[in-house]
Amino acid sequence: MENKKPKNVFKEGAISSQFIADSIAKHQSKTGIGAHNIFLGQVRADEVNGKVVSAIEYTAYEEMANQKFYEIREAAFEKFDLNCMHIYHSIGKVNTGEICLFVFVSSPRRKEVFPAIEFIVEEIKANVPVFGKEIFEDESHQWKVNS
């Protein structure tokens, strides 16, 4: 933690496929990498009592969340042999079918990236103070809880 200030992980709205593609392309110059792994969280159209979720509106305790993302990042670098790691999470409204979480890890070897991505995603789900309002097609809502 020392003096490094946590980066802002949040992006307003959905994470576009173009943004993801550009992130991949930026790694072509890093030739020490032999394996990438990517996790994409997508907003699901859950059905609850006959109503269908049309979007999730994300809010967060952003200062604490960015600190948690930073700690998860440090822990992942400690546990796994990674060249680099990127995490982006949406804030604000994301429609069903759109991407709300993008985790990208790179390593010299494939065996590191599978457990690394799982570790990071599970840590995010359990420990980062992000809240999701599931908005139904009729504008009513309920609050999402990670299972």
Q: Which residues bind other proteins (CB under 8 A)?
A: 41, 56, 58-61, 63-65, 67, 89, 100-101, 121, 124-133, 143-146
- CB of 146 vs other proteins, minimal distance in Å: 5
Output 101 or 105, the one with its CB closest to other proteins.
101
- CB of 40 vs other proteins, minimal distance in Å: 10
Q: Is the dihedral of CA 63, 135, 88, 14 positive or negative?
A: negative
The two structure tokens encoding residue 1: 């933690």
Output 83 or 142, the one with its CB closest to other proteins.
142
Give dist(CA 93, CA 100) in Å, integer. Answer: 9
Output 15 or 33, the one with its CB closest to other proteins.
15
Give dist(CA 126, CA 69) in Å, integer. Answer: 11
The SS3 of residue 97 is coil
End-to-end CA distance of the chain: 29
- CB of 50 vs other proteins, minimal distance in Å: 22
- CB of 140 vs other proteins, minimal distance in Å: 13
Number of residues that make up the chain? 147
